[in-house]
Structure 1
């Protein structure tokens, strides 16, 4: 029994040492184009930018866990809103607004590498509201799921394409609506939709 326990302990010890020998950490930066809208609004996509930093924890040759902090500008353009004039009751006006929402996005991304640098990325994100120009909102923060593809070169430079889908209803659609044009009929569940096209660079830490 004693020899068996000793053998198990030795096996676990060498397994941990082997894992630690394979684990590497690489900090990095990422930035690019952010294309976003808010769902069920039939609005135009808003072009803007994102920028952030990350720490890539390589647990094996093919898998890395990557915590991130990103600043992302999102929203929707050309959103129609109807309202009644206060001084002339029953007179309805329509204005078109560009909605802007900025988040500090904290994400934990799983990265799987295949072949010569092709990557599959996915993971959850918590978006903390920094500022916006929404008249009424249902929530200040958002939860999202991120998925994407990337290609990393030996130099550490990578090209990324991601899709980030918000899970929470972020906008009060009773305030933004248009009864006179069906193209702008709103749904009640308005979530953030975001595409990211950009680059990242990871630094070698000796």
Structure 2
């Protein structure tokens, strides 16, 4: 299953790369720290990593279209939920770390201002590769990504991004807590992800 998803993602990625036509094309790599959580519940941000590749299609001097494939480890730490103890029937609270690993396909619009300051934004399709959720509502996710970056003449860039998922990823009937209002769950639990890292664009001839 994982190999099939990876093959489909690679085909989509290279199909976008082929549309370079008269525009210049630069492949590249990116990676860094991923800080994520799930909305409408009391939990801690989960620190992990992301890594990926991209093809930068420079349409004009100031605008580029950038298809990407990223592997992103998301989730949320210290999620408190109710459960019923099977031994005595009493309701208790358990703390869990929720893990969701995605293969993310995105198309970023990049606008460059000044010597190297960039504004980036675009949609993303997140394909679930692995998770430890007992119950979930959606297998995959749709998200919007936005951020800023500063690219140096060498091709190395520092990036800051924010990604917000749109689909409900948890089954609120299972992941709930009603013993303390501080830990109450909402009914619409979406992915929230911050990325801080670097990227490098390779020069092509």
- State whether TM-score is above 0.5: yes
Cα root mean square deviation, aligned: 1.1
SS at match of 2:123: strand
2:166 counterpart residue number: 167
Shift of 1:176: 1.4
CA distance in 2, matches of 1:92, 1:42: 19
1:39-188 to structure 2, matched below 5 A, reads: 39-89=39-89, 91-188=90-187
SS at match of 1:88: coil
CA distance in 2, matches of 1:27, 1:63: 16
SS at match of 1:135: coil
1:27 counterpart residue number: 27
SS at match of 2:146: strand
CA distance in 2, matches of 1:83, 1:167: 27
Give TM-score scaled by structure 1 length. Answer: 0.88
List gaps (5 residues or longer) in structure 1. 1-18
2:36 counterpart residue number: 36
List gaps (5 residues or longer) in structure 2. 1-19
CA distance in 2, matches of 1:85, 1:39: 27
Instruction: Indicate conservation of the 8 Å contact 2:82/2:177, yes or no.
Output: yes
State the 4+ residue runs in structure 1 displaced beyond 4 angstroms: none
Shift of 1:41: 0.9
How many residues align? The count is 186
Shift of 1:20: 5.9
SS at match of 2:87: coil
Deviation per residue, 1:82-129 (Å, 9 max, x gap) = 11122322x112110000100000000000000010000000000000
